[in-house]
Chains A and B, each alone.
Chain A
Amino acid sequence: MSAILSVRDLEKTFGSVVAARDISLDVPAQQTVGIIGANGAGKTTFVNMITGHLSPSKGSILFEGNDITGLPSRTITRLGISRSFQVAQVFPSLTVTENMWAAAAIARGRDSIIARALTPLDTPEAKTEADAAMELFQITRYRDARAVTLPQGVRKLLDIAMAVAGSPRVLLLDEPTSGISIEEKFGLMDVVMSALKTRRITVLFVEHDMEIVGRFADRVLAFYDGTVIADERPETVLANPRVQTFISGTKPAGEGAVHA
């Protein structure tokens, strides 16, 4: 099966600090990939490079066979790679519906700014798209609430729903369950993952909770010190004692050197 997303020798350095290195992998279409690792292991840097927030220092990123390395984030979004954020990024002074309209309208229009000034925001197509996405993510009952008033879980769902409004083929979720109580986590992930399955979207999600990774991922990437140290099926990775030590943050004996 050919990969929808391919990464070769990806590296990111900030001055003398190596945030990511030697990352090479292929993601086939419609796979669900969990990304684990301690804080500072390079997970978010990886996500930021794929989605164009950071430009890689070295290496290449191919999406559906096209080189997207170093393109600005908005271009990457328009090509079909969307993302959500660790801290939900929504428009607080707009209602949920208006948030969705904005997302759907941006996603549907052409790239020309002049064309954007000539098309109305609330076209029937955009409204239908917004309604469908709200339904899919089960936030329709909040439709008239301002985003600033939403409970954390709903705000997360709205953030992801907005990312999905552009009909992406690949979606990166940066810690979709951070800030969510343990009881709510599984419910939220059930909604998100079944929605994304319906839309046949390839998913890469960063997650700290191993139980969630085990339940939802087809494949797990374990990050440590800027690179991928394990890339296997979840049950294999999670049983790996090396991974367990790394993720819990304690270094095993004989691996003292940290890249500076």
Chain B
Amino acid sequence: MLTAFAIFSDGLVYAAYLFLVAVGLTLIFGVMKILNVTHGSFYAFGAYGAATAAGVWFDRGWSDAGGLLFMVGLAMLIGLAIGIVLERGILRFVYGKDEVVIVLVTYAVFLILEDVIVLVWGPRSYAAYQPMVAAGSIDVGDLTLSNYDIGMVVLAAALAAFGYWALKFTRYGKLLTVVIFDREVAAAYGINVKVIYTVTFLIGAMLGALGGAVMAPKISVTLGIGVEVIVLAFAVVAIGGMGSIEGALIGALIVGFGRAAAVHLVPQVELFVIYAVMALVLGFRPHGLFTQPAPRKI
């Protein structure tokens, strides 16, 4: 019973983390058909930015809640800045090229940004544990739950709900839906697809940085965190169906609970359970659980 509850709570927290890192990736893919490897960099920059902010803020002994806001705010600003440079400086020149070629372009940028991190922050690790400590914990039966983790689950749920609402009911969301459905038709109806692309990419970039900022207090912010995150996010998005927000949510839950179950029941399989699930899902549903393959026309 205890194990079951632990699997449930761990799974939920892990799923929240996965959703936070995958949602930006799936948004960019859905709208722009770009599998954005630099998403890992956004995450890393977000985490480093948040860690720096935490250092500045908490060294002065300022309030805890404000500190977290400052961390998230600075991280998202950095995400926005890199997003603008990338989209305006590089990506817009390769729109319309082969999808695989664009993946390689983002991979190249990802490599560059990995070293930029070293240049800016050096090779040492950073910690930003203060918000985690400040949040404290509660005991549920024999189990201790971190309030910070609970907050993360709430944030992920809120983001999912907001995303759903924004796509369904706002003007921008409706425009996005049209672009996702068919960009030529969208352009023909006078929708400025270029602006939509830019805005979407920037939102995606900020979401990636947000993921990093939120995770920063829970991890050691060190070199290579982006490398790990990007493959995880890929797996989640591929399971749910690339470009679908619901898909990212379901994918995150499947992977989250799958991994939590593995950790508690068969720890040996923990590291590859995610990719095994991904291979299994893709074996039966090549385009993920939530997207329909486009029919081949001749």
A and B touch in the complex (CB under 8 A): yes
Cα distance, A53 to B298, chains bound together (Å): 9
Number of interface residues of A (CB under 8 A): 6
Q: Give the interface SS of chain B, mostly helix, strand, loop or mixed.
A: loop
Cα distance, A131 to B167, chains bound together (Å): 57
Cα distance, A89 to B298, chains bound together (Å): 9
Number of CB contacts from chain A to chain B under 8 A: 6
Decide yes or no whether A85 CB sits under 8 A from chain B: yes
- Encoded as 1 (CB less than 8 Å from any B CB) or 0, chain A from 47 to 65 comes to 0100001000000000000
Q: A48: which B residues are within 8 A, CB to CB?
A: 298
Residue of B nearest to A53 (CB): B298
Q: Give the interface SS of chain A, mostly helix, strand, loop or mixed.
A: loop
- Encoded as 1 (CB less than 8 Å from any B CB) or 0, chain A from 113 to 135 comes to 00000000000000000000000
For this complex, into which size category does the number of interface residues on chain B fall?
under 10
Cα distance, A48 to B296, chains bound together (Å): 12
Residue of A nearest to B297 (CB): A87
Interface residues in B276-298 (C-beta closer than 8 Å to A): 298
Q: A86: which B residues are within 8 A, CB to CB?
A: 298
Q: A85: which B residues are within 8 A, CB to CB?
A: 298
Task: Tell me how far the C-beta of A77 lies from the nearest C-beta in chain B, rounded to whole angstroms.
Answer: 14
Interface residues in A78-112 (C-beta closer than 8 Å to B): 85-87, 89
Q: B298: which A residues are within 8 A, CB to CB?
A: 48, 53, 85-87, 89
Cα distance, A114 to B298, chains bound together (Å): 29
Cα distance, A86 to B298, chains bound together (Å): 8
Task: Tell me how far the C-beta of B217 lies from the nearest C-beta in chain A, rounded to whole angstroms.
Answer: 51
Cα distance, A53 to B295, chains bound together (Å): 12
Task: Tell me how far the C-beta of A49 lies from the nearest C-beta in chain B, rounded to whole angstroms.
Answer: 13
Cα distance, A104 to B298, chains bound together (Å): 22
Task: Tell me how far the C-beta of A155 lies from the nearest C-beta in chain B, rounded to whole angstroms.
Answer: 15
Task: Tell me how far the C-beta of B194 lies from the nearest C-beta in chain A, rounded to whole angstroms.
Answer: 27
Task: Tell me how far the C-beta of B9 lies from the nearest C-beta in chain A, rounded to whole angstroms.
Answer: 43
Task: Tell me how far the C-beta of A85 lies from the nearest C-beta in chain B, rounded to whole angstroms.
Answer: 6
Residue of A nearest to B296 (CB): A53
Cα distance, A229 to B298, chains bound together (Å): 25
Task: Tell me how far the C-beta of A148 lies from the nearest C-beta in chain B, rounded to whole angstroms.
Answer: 16
Residue of A nearest to B295 (CB): A14
Cα distance, A86 to B297, chains bound together (Å): 11
Task: Tell me how far the C-beta of B298 lies from the nearest C-beta in chain A, rounded to whole angstroms.
Answer: 6
- Encoded as 1 (CB less than 8 Å from any B CB) or 0, chain A from 22 to 57 comes to 000000000000000000000000001000010000
Residue of B nearest to A87 (CB): B298
Cα distance, A48 to B295, chains bound together (Å): 14
Cα distance, A53 to B297, chains bound together (Å): 10
Cα distance, A32 to B180, chains bound together (Å): 45
Interface residues in B85-100 (C-beta closer than 8 Å to A): none
Residue of B nearest to A89 (CB): B298
Q: A53: which B residues are within 8 A, CB to CB?
A: 298
Cα distance, A132 to B184, chains bound together (Å): 42
Task: Tell me how far the C-beta of A152 lies from the nearest C-beta in chain B, rounded to whole angstroms.
Answer: 17
Cα distance, A48 to B298, chains bound together (Å): 9
Cα distance, A32 to B103, chains bound together (Å): 50
Task: Tell me how far the C-beta of B295 lies from the nearest C-beta in chain A, rounded to whole angstroms.
Answer: 10
Residue of B nearest to A85 (CB): B298
Cα distance, A87 to B296, chains bound together (Å): 14
Residue of B nearest to A86 (CB): B298
Residue of A nearest to B298 (CB): A85
Residue of B nearest to A174 (CB): B298
Interface residues in B251-298 (C-beta closer than 8 Å to A): 298
Task: Tell me how far the C-beta of A161 lies from the nearest C-beta in chain B, rounded to whole angstroms.
Answer: 18
Task: Tell me how far the C-beta of B143 lies from the nearest C-beta in chain A, rounded to whole angstroms.
Answer: 49
Cα distance, A87 to B297, chains bound together (Å): 10
Task: Tell me how far the C-beta of B184 lies from the nearest C-beta in chain A, rounded to whole angstroms.
Answer: 17
Provide a sorted-by-A list of 6 A–B residue pairs whose CB atoms are within 8 angstroms.
A48-B298, A53-B298, A85-B298, A86-B298, A87-B298, A89-B298
Of all A-B residue pairs in the complex, the 3 with the closest CB atoms, nearest first, are A85-B298, A53-B298, A89-B298
